[in-house]
Structure 1
Amino acid sequence: MGNEKTPRPPTLDDLKAVIKSLNAKNVDYLLIGGFAVNAQGLNRTTNDIDFLIKQNKEDGKRIVDALLVLPDKASKDIDLSWFDKGASDDSTIRVYDEIIVDLLFNACGQSYESLKKHEKIIYLDDVPVKTLDIEGLMLTKISYREQDKLDLQALKFKLEEDIKNKRTNK
């Protein structure tokens, strides 16, 4: 949706700009996907920014407004009815701007509400980012996709290392 040119991979600066805008509009979101995996100290390339969001028009309006921070303003083409509870909760709203932003209502059977208890705030410079702890992120990776399988394996290893380090530091 939006422009006809090929989007480029997002940078950390892109992520910070989008997050700042979401935070300024008081959007309820959880950063998932490749950038969330990276936030756990792992190294993974990604071609988009993924957010798990609530499924309602009020949040949808704030998200659309927040994503106007992107250069091509592609979010203006989003139909707010896509955020209705009656819409498919397996839907992904893909915003094709200079970068791609994916808005998900469901990640591997998990909703914003079911993962809220796993919320973790991290900081990218001075920007607070709402993402997931390792356990929550692992729940979003139980899928058939090869990249998700690789992420899940790396996250399991990281969790085991963290547990081992906690034991040795006691």
Structure 2
Amino acid sequence: MNTRVDKFLSLLKALQAEKVDYVLIGGLAVVLHGSPRLTEDIDIFVRNTEQNINKLRKALSSIFNDESIHEITTSELTQYAVIRYSAPDDILIDIITNLDERFSFEDIISEEIEVEGNIVRIATLESLYKLKANTYRAVDQEDLFFISHKLKELNND
């Protein structure tokens, strides 16, 4: 299997093992909903509490031997919309706790799915659509097209 995919799966397993309060969003979430696209990073929306961020650091430390993991703090996550953690293996992880006034952790509706024997908390198609609705990157527009068609397909069943 692809090394990047293996690392993504390891991260999802570690998040589950440490009971991190998170929701998978972004490209990987769209892929897990059935889109045939590729993604270079993993985007996780996390609850910004000291206890939860400690669990997140523990999960990351179980996979990556990197002292900079300890620089991920609740204050940093409050100050910046996205913290990009660049793991030693060229794995990019975007950690998000809020998107301005538009979205907080509580605004993301999620569901649990099984991926390679692991339970993954993933944003629903409706939440992904709302998250991407006001974005302008070509890849996000393609995701919106996929999501809207998938929602229509599901609503016709």
TM norm structure 2: 0.86
Give the number of the structure whose residues are more often strand, by fraction.
2
Query: Equivalent residue of 2:122, what SS?
Result: strand
Larger Rg belongs to: 1
The residue number in structure 1 matching 2:121 is 130
- Residue in 2 aligned with 1:93? 83
Task: Please show how residues 92-111 of structure 1 align to structure 2 within 5 Å.
Answer: 92-97=82-87, 98=89, 99-107=91-99, 109-111=102-104
How many percent identity over aligned positions? Answer: 28
In structure 2, relative to structure 1, the CA distance for the partners of 1:127 and 1:33 (3 Å cut) is same
The answer to whether structure 1 residue 40 and structure 2 residue 33 are counterparts is: yes
Q: Which amino acid aligns with 2:81?
A: S
Normalized against structure 1, the TM-score is what? 0.80
Matched, 1:15 2:8: yes
Gaps of 5+ in 2: none
**RMSD, aligned α-carbons:** 2.0
Displacement of 1:74 after TM fit? Answer: 5.4
1:25 corresponding residue in structure 2: 18
Contact persistence 1:68–1:75 (CA under 8 A): no
CA-CA distance at 1:139 after TM superposition = 1.2
Distance 2:147 2:7 in 1: 24
Amino acid at match of 1:10: R
Tell me the SS of whatever aligns to 1:95: strand
In structure 1, the gaps of 5 or more residues are 1-7
Is contact 2:81–2:99 with CA below 8 Å preserved after alignment? no
| Count of aligned pairs between the two proteins | 151
